[in-house]
Amino acid sequence: MSSSVPKPRCLQRPFVAPRLHMFGPGPSNVPTRILQAGAQPIIGHMHPEMFEIMDDIKSGIQYAFQTRNSMTFAVSGTGHTAMECALVNAVEPGESVLAAVNGIWGERATNVAERIGARVNTIAAPPGGTFILQEIEQALSRHRPMVFFVVHGESSTGVLQPLEGIGDLCRKYKCLLLVDSVASMGGTPLYMDKLGIDILYTGSQKVLNAPPGTAPISFSQRACQKALNRKTKPVSFSLDLTWLANYWGCDGAPARMYHHTGPVSAFYSLRESLAVLSEEGLENSWERHRTAAEYFHNGLESMGLKLYVKDKNARLPTVTTIVAPLGYDCYEIRSYLMKTHNLEISGGLGPSFGLVLRVGLMGCNSSKANVDMVLRALKDALEHCHRSKM
């Protein structure tokens, strides 16, 4: 029989991706070096050479996270997948989870925890705000959770949450500290072991400047003890820590067993991105992001624009939130920047939807030269976009 569905005409023409300046909250631009690494020949995901690459990735993540945890690897998926990996392994149905919610990612963690049958409680801060140790301790004392979730860099609101002291509180109340660092890792100081973080994860497409699709994650010994001694199996086979630990050579077993087909090309890219970070050095990367962000914030304020996060110390250096300019349509501004300057920035997300413009300065994009380019483009947009009479 002949095929009844015709060949798609759209696939008969070549596809060329546009060259854009990616200054939204992610994904960020991927340097040529990392793109070339991902374009190397495919090898089997269970080949010895692949295991060597995976071991390199583990070492790179340990450096980036500043941890000596042996249970350190990359989930095949984005930061959302790592969030689910953390929760489905650390929490069993009926157990208590406490989530700090000051943006969309606290909301997402709450959603995931509820789906796996956890009893979820929250503490909330207004968008643009952070949590203090006193209110965290009060909530831990009241709810006695198995896991406390907090976001280090809340990309929906541009907030950087201080983490000092939270790990000590979690040990005092016998719970695990789970931290989302998708928007912060590599762009601001973060010390997993020193801060007493039990589970930490990030994404490949932010400061690391790799393509989306891999998500570094690490579990402390306390977290492993909880996750590997469950009474029930995790609801997800794909994210089962027992299987992933073996696949990544984290369990000390003499041989690795097949679990899933890892994204080989994405692993190449992730390894290269971690090599780039290692070559620059964490301290240098942190300082570069801090300097570029401060330069950007000063430039925005000199243009008469207002920053959404009032407290300078609470501003995330990788993602800046700008109060929507009065009288302007934020969508028109973003469209103008894309059409005229090939430059992507984003609008608000979750609680900041319709209230802000979000600009990402991550990895290779975080420099004074790039800040100057974004400021010029924003100035041009404000001069040419329609402004309503107030």
Question: In angstroms, rounded to a whole number, what is the distance separating the alpha carbons of residues 87 and 78?
Answer: 15
Residues 35-71: pLDDT tens digits? 999 999 999 999 999 999 999 999 999 999 999 999 9
> Which has the closest alpha carbon to 344: 355, 328, 353, 333?
333
Residues 103-159: pLDDT tens digits? 999 999 999 999 999 999 999 998 889 999 999 999 999 999 999 999 999 999 999
Q: What is the pLDDT of residue 390?
A: 57
* Dihedral-angle region of residue 75 (phi above 0 means left; psi in -120 to 50 means alpha; beta otherwise): beta
Q: What is the pLDDT of residue 351?
A: 86
Does pLDDT of 332 surpass 80?
yes
> Which has the closest alpha carbon to 97: 85, 81, 111?
111
Phi, psi of 52 (to 5 degrees): -65, -40
Q: What is the pLDDT of residue 362?
A: 98
Residues 143-200: pLDDT tens digits? 999 999 999 999 999 999 999 999 999 999 999 999 999 999 999 999 999 999 999 9
Q: Are strands 199-201 and 176-180 parallel, antiparallel or unpaired?
A: parallel
Average pLDDT over residues 230-254: 96
Does pLDDT of 3 surpass 90?
no
Q: What are the DSSP calls for 365-380, one per residue? A: G-SHHHHHHHHHHHHH
Chain mean pLDDT for the chain: 96
Residues 11-20: pLDDT tens digits? 999 999 999 9
Q: What is the pLDDT of residue 66?
A: 98
Q: What is the pLDDT of residue 388?
A: 82
Token digits of residue 146 = 């198995």
Average pLDDT over residues 307-332: 95
Q: H helices of the chain, where? A: 32-38, 48-65, 79-90, 104-115, 133-143, 166-172, 221-227, 241-247, 264-280, 282-302, 330-341, 368-384
For residue 80, with 0-12 CB atoms within 10 Å meaning exposed, 13-18 middle and 19 or more buried, which class applies? middle
- Biggest distance spanned by C-alpha atoms of the chain: 72
pTM of the predicted model over 0.75: yes
Q: What is the pLDDT of residue 389?
A: 66
Question: In angstroms, rounded to a whole number, what is the distance separating the alpha carbons of residues 219 and 199?
Answer: 5
Average pLDDT over residues 288-308: 97
- Which distant-in-sequence residues (6+ apart) come within 8 Å of 235 by Cβ? 88, 116
